[in-house]
A and B are shown apart, each in its own frame.
Chain A
């Protein structure tokens, strides 16, 4: 589903972000991307979204080499890859329902499909009774669930999560992780960058650790710290 082949990324000024990174993620896998700040996690995700291009190497997403993707094919990639962020990126002037519906509206889905899908997804994230609320009236955990609903409503093959629990308290973190787990069990590949060791340890999923732009660890059901010592 996702494959990095000897990917190298150097930013202007010879700042090396990724060095010879090769990772293969199968359909339906759940992987944690861990590592200290500046280890290359964000670059990894940006490359997947085609926000940055690798200096060398190949990146395959859903069977397609996105390294040389022409910019008019980019929207197609983005429809296959849902994204959630630490800061949610919700539209403050729109209600919960409208925020989710917006993601379908702007890729031209017909109204009856939107009206059928949005309530379903809101139910999946447990916000079916907060349809008409605005983001500012919700807790951080609820806002993140709205953003998950928005990322998932178009049924992407892959869900990227960049520190999705970074702004949340432990209770909300658990809620968000449950939803991501549920989405993953329904068949969506999930790739989550995080600093939260407790989640990683509790979930026991595949862990890819980056350090100074290199993959230093890739374990099938790993812990946050090596050998569980941290």
Chain B
């Protein structure tokens, strides 16, 4: 077993070195395309977090006064239920408000420490039947007793959502093209490697080496390229995650509701890694196809 492992790793390293330029080209393309892919996934997650409410269709938030009575709250609930223009709504109690507050200001532990649920207002998140009704609902509820304010999301946020959707499509398209070309590069590297070693392969077949024994070093060669490329791309994802945190961390700025969790970054990194492995293996399988038949 150990002897085989040594044989395979030695053959793989020799082959990678022999085709050094092709190998580097393959690795770089894999890295760039996967980094682009990972970057766009991260951006999507980031925008998703920031625009969760709009995406859910929430156009209005009816904030109650902090000291609004239960009676006032149930009055509002009743009139929302009977309102023709309201499609649906959801009530956020003080506890919900606190956890949201903690999320938004998670970079500011001092602020979070000094806040209690009591100090926060309850609110209703309202989805109107159509977007056009937003303003009339706002006007109607603004004046109700116990209501502090009725907020509508900034228009800029909607524009951003549209822009990121377009960007997402373009970048995914770009990264797909790059992924495809990195696949072709790996296929080509493996073809060159088999050509460089055609005598060895001929002898191996002649003396009865099993098909897998012949193929494994080449599969490993493709896999290694995919892995190194993916590793570089994971590095880029990590840098981007830190970057997003740093550039958009202002608790009051336009992007205050945009954030990335470590979980987001880890799952994106896993996708990138898996994709790198898949590209490497598929590339070498295609590159070896002519050797499937002995």
- With contact pairs A89-B199, A110-B3 given, residues A154 and B211 touching in the complex (Cβ less than 8 Å): no
Q: Which residues of B contact A107 (CB under 8 A)?
A: 207-210, 213
Chain B 233-271 interface residues, beta-carbon cutoff 8 Å to A = none
| In contact, B208 and A72 (Cβ under 8 angstroms) | no
Bin chain B's interface residue count.
Answer: 10 to 19
Bound Cα distance A75, B207 (Å)? 8
Chain B 204-230: CB-based contact to A (< 8 A → 1; otherwise 0):
111111110110000000000000000
Residue of B nearest to A49 (CB): B206
Assembled-state Cα–Cα distance A151/B214 (Å): 18
Candidates A77, A102, A110, A111; contact of B208 at CB < 8 Å = A77
Q: For window 49-88 of chain A, which residues contact chain B by CB distance below 8 Å?
A: 71-72, 74-80, 82-83
- Do B207 and A154 have beta carbons less than 8 Å apart? yes
Distance in angstroms between the alpha carbons of A151 and B204 in the assembled complex: 11
A106 beta carbon closer than 8 Å to chain B:
yes
Interface residues in B73-108 by Cβ distance below 8 A to A read none
List chain A residues, Cβ under 8 A from B206: 78, 83, 89
B203 — which chain A residues lie within 8 A by C-beta?
Answer: 89, 91, 102-103, 106, 150
Q: Determine if A79 and B207 form an interchain contact, defined as CB atoms under 8 angstroms apart.
A: yes
Assembled-state Cα–Cα distance A82/B210 (Å): 15
B4 contacts A by Cβ under 8 Å: yes
Q: Does A105 contact B (CB under 8 A)?
A: yes
Indicate if the CB atoms of A71 and B294 lie closer than 8 Å.
yes
A108 and B199: CB pair below 8 A?
no
Chain A residues with Cβ below 8 Å from B210 are: 72, 75, 107-108
- A191-223 interface bits toward B, Cβ cutoff 8 Å, 1 = contact, 0 = none: 000000000000000000000000000000000
Chain A's closest residue to B207 (CB) is: A103
Between B204, B211, B214, the greatest number of chain A beta carbons within 10 A of the residue's beta carbon is seen for B204
User: Which residues of A lie under 8 Å from residue B202 when comparing CB positions?
Assistant: 89
| Chain A CB within 8 A of B52 CB | no
Closest chain A residue to B199, Cβ basis:
A91
| Known contacts A89-B199, A89-B202, A111-B3, A106 near B294 by CB under 8 Å | no
Q: In the assembled complex, how far is the CB of residue A45 from the closest CB belonging to chain B, in whole angstroms?
A: 12
Give every chain A residue within 8 A of B294 (Cβ-Cβ).
Answer: 71, 74
Instruction: Decide: A154 near B293, CB < 8 A? Known: A107-B213, A111-B3.
Output: no
A106 touches B213 (CB 8 A): yes
- In the complex, what distance in Å separates the CA atom of A191 from the CA atom of B59? 88
Q: Is the CB of B200 within 8 A of A75?
A: no
Distance of A107 Cα from B212 Cα, bound (Å): 11
Chain A, range 122-163, C-beta contacts under 8 Å to B: 150-151, 154
Let me know if A105 and B199 touch, CB within 8 A: no
Closest CB of chain A to B211's CB: distance in Å? 7
Q: Kindly name the residue among B200, B202, B203, B214 whose own CB sees the greatest number of chain A CB atoms within 10 A.
A: B203
* Least CB separation from B293: chain A residue: A71
CA separation between A151 and B203, bound complex, in Å?
10
A80 to B207, CA, bound (A): 9
1/0 contact string of B1-17 vs chain A (CB within 8 Å): 00110010000000000
Known: A71-B293, A111-B3. A91 touches B209 (CB 8 A): no
Given A89-B199, A89-B203, A91-B200: A75 and B211 interface contact (C-beta under 8 Å) = yes
CA distance A82 to B206 in the complex (A): 8
Nearest CB in chain B to that of A103: its residue: B207
Q: Mark B101-135, 1 if CB is under 8 A from A, else 0.
A: 00000000000000000000000000000000000
- Quick check: B207 and A106 within 8 Å, CB to CB? yes
- Among residues of A, the one whose C-beta sits closest to the C-beta of B200 is A91
**Which residue of A80, A92, A110 has the most chain B CB atoms within 10 A of its CB atom?**
A110
Smallest beta-carbon distance B253→chain A, Å: 63
List the A side residues contacting B204 at CB < 8 Å.
Answer: 106
Contacts of A83 in B (CB 8 A): 206
Partner of B207, one of A71, A72, A78: A78
For B188-205 the 0/1 string (1 means CB < 8 A from A) is 000000000001101111
B222 to nearest A CB, angstroms? 20
The answer to whether A150 and B208 touch across the interface, beta carbons within 8 angstroms, is no
Q: Which residue of B lies closest to A84 (CB)?
A: B206
Task: Tell me how far the C-beta of A127 lies from the nearest C-beta in chain B, rounded to whole angstroms.
Answer: 18
CB distance from A153 to the nearest CB of B (A): 9
For the complex with contacts A75-B209, A151-B207, 19 further pairs of A-B residues with Cβ separation under 8 Å are: A71-B211, A71-B293, A71-B294, A72-B211, A74-B208, A74-B294, A75-B208, A75-B210, A75-B211, A78-B206, A78-B207, A78-B208, A79-B208, A91-B203, A103-B207, A106-B204, A110-B3, A150-B207, A154-B207
CB<8 Å pairs between A and B, sample of 11: A71-B294, A72-B210, A72-B211, A74-B208, A78-B205, A91-B199, A91-B200, A92-B199, A106-B214, A107-B208, A108-B4
Closest CB pairs A-B (n = 7): A78-B208, A79-B208, A106-B209, A103-B207, A75-B208, A106-B204, A75-B210
